[in-house]
Copies of this chain bind each other. A is one copy, B any other.
Amino acid sequence: MKQIVLASYAKGNPRPSDFRVEEVPIPTAGEREILLRTLWLAVDPLFRFAIDEVRLSGALHLQLGDVMVGATVSEVIASNHPDYKPGDVVEGRTGWREYAVVAPDQADYRGPPRKLDPSLAPVSTALGVLGMPGQTAHGGIETLRIKPGETVAISAAAGAVGSIAGQIAKIHGARAVGIAGGAGKVQALLDLGFDGAADYKAPDFAAQLKAAAPNGIDCYFDNTGGDVTLEVFKQLNRGSRMAMCGYIAYYGMGYEGPGPDHMPALYRTIMGTGLEIRGFAGFMAGQKALDDIAGWISDGKLTYPEAVVEGIEAAPQAFASVFSGHDFVGKLLVKVAEPA
């Protein structure tokens, strides 16, 4: 079987050459273990954290030669555990490999592999709208405590989290304004039902954002940081709230980035507007978020764009494109195999 390992620690944006494909034997399930065959791999910017040379935060940190960490949907091929049987489809974090052995009794804080019901929704959604990205979108919007009629700006709005967050903001009665890179993504956001959108790569980004949010911005769902956020700061209303759900602009950095220092802009904005900022991560949202989202999907209130690349060898290039720019909208997935 094929697996993809870390060949060199990333400097700045990850490159495909930071990874290497290896051919290894299919592993065997031991006592109370299960053998999984990967069907889908998620390309999550979150896992950028794992491939810095210096451990910067959290439990994720790879050694050179380790299999790249990643969320997966897999089929149970063989089971020595009473809770799983062959043919079950599960979501877990088994990494970039075609097969994996898991010991459900030794799961981390995320719990044992989550069994999916393929009759409810395509199983790939467990990596997107009905998984961590959907939970992040739901929980971040809850954090903002939106009042109907308010304007909510969303950075990285064409991404897996942002594309869902904007639609949930509208369900809460807000005007949803998406920020994304390129005219194609801006149009895709409007097609998804966003009330306005702005292209951060355009020279008139500030003016586009003002036009899309003519009454100013009350809530900001931030996935990026960086220059996008610095412009949003200038257009925030008094009493605004910000949910910080990611910071892709800084993932390649440690605690410092290239100058100048923008902390003064942050302080001026917070004191000038009374801005409230809270961090939110998907794992905090729980099952309630997934239940709400499933209901909105079945009511036709929420659509979930997915972009798919084929074959496990495509994962490094797809992962790198999340940081260097691509034209996909919604959740970016690698299709590794068909179910048996």
Q: Which residues of A contact B (CB under 8 A)?
A: 56-58, 225-226, 230, 244, 246-247, 250, 253-268, 270-281, 284
Chain B, Cβ-Cβ closest to A277: B277
29 pairs across A/B with beta carbons < 8 Å? A57-B268, A57-B271, A225-B264, A244-B270, A244-B271, A247-B264, A247-B267, A247-B268, A250-B267, A250-B268, A254-B264, A255-B262, A256-B261, A257-B260, A257-B263, A259-B260, A261-B261, A261-B262, A261-B263, A262-B262, A263-B263, A266-B266, A270-B278, A272-B279, A274-B280, A274-B284, A275-B277, A275-B278, A277-B277
Report whether A267 and B225 are in contact in the complex, using a CB–CB cutoff of 8 Å: yes
Chain B, Cβ-Cβ closest to A260: B256
Residues on the B chain within 8 Å of A262, using CB: 255-257, 261-263
Q: Which 6 A-B pairs give the minimum distances between C-beta atoms?
A: A259-B259, A256-B260, A247-B267, A250-B264, A270-B279, A255-B265
Instruction: Count identical subunits in the complex.
Output: 2
Report whether B276 and A278 are in contact in the complex, using a CB–CB cutoff of 8 Å: yes
For residue A240, give the distance in angstroms from its CB to the closest CB of chain B. 10
7 additional A-B pairs beyond A271-B279, A274-B281, beta carbons within 8 Å, are A225-B263, A253-B264, A256-B260, A259-B259, A261-B262, A263-B263, A272-B279
A271's partner among B247, B253, B270 (CB-CB below 8 A) is B247
Report whether A57 and B272 are in contact in the complex, using a CB–CB cutoff of 8 Å: yes
Chain B, Cβ-Cβ closest to A233: B255
- A262 vs B276: C-alpha distance when bound (angstroms): 19
Chain B, Cβ-Cβ closest to A261: B257
